[in-house]
Amino acid sequence: MTINPDLLTYAEKLQYEGYLRREETNAAIMKLAGEGIPIKEIVRRTGHSRKLCAK
């Protein structure tokens, strides 16, 4: 499903942009994990918490 940002209210746009950022972050973490990089190294590279990287 594609969302047209022009039709969203300001608050909905903020939520949607946050969602897109989280999806991008999660994809990067999953890529690193898929390459076999340890969680501690992923934390160092991304600056995110171990809890987030372990998901």
Per the confidence metrics, is the pTM higher than 0.85? no
Is 38 a member of any domain?
A: yes
Say if residue 55's pLDDT is above 80: no
Residue 20 falls within a domain, yes or no? no
Answer yes or no: is pLDDT of 8 > 80: yes
Is residue 6 one of the residues assigned to a domain? no
Q: How many CB atoms lie within 10 A of CB 16?
A: 13
For residue range 21-52, list pLDDT tens digits in order.
999 999 999 999 999 999 999 999 999 999 98
Task: Kindly state whether residue 12 falls inside one of the protein's structural domains.
Answer: no
Count: domains in the chain: 1
Could you tell me if residue 7 is inside a domain? no
Q: Please tell me the predicted confidence (pLDDT) of residue 44.
A: 94
Give the model's pLDDT for residue 6.
Answer: 84
With a cut of 80, say whether residue 17 has pLDDT above it. Answer: yes
Domain boundaries, position 51: 26-55
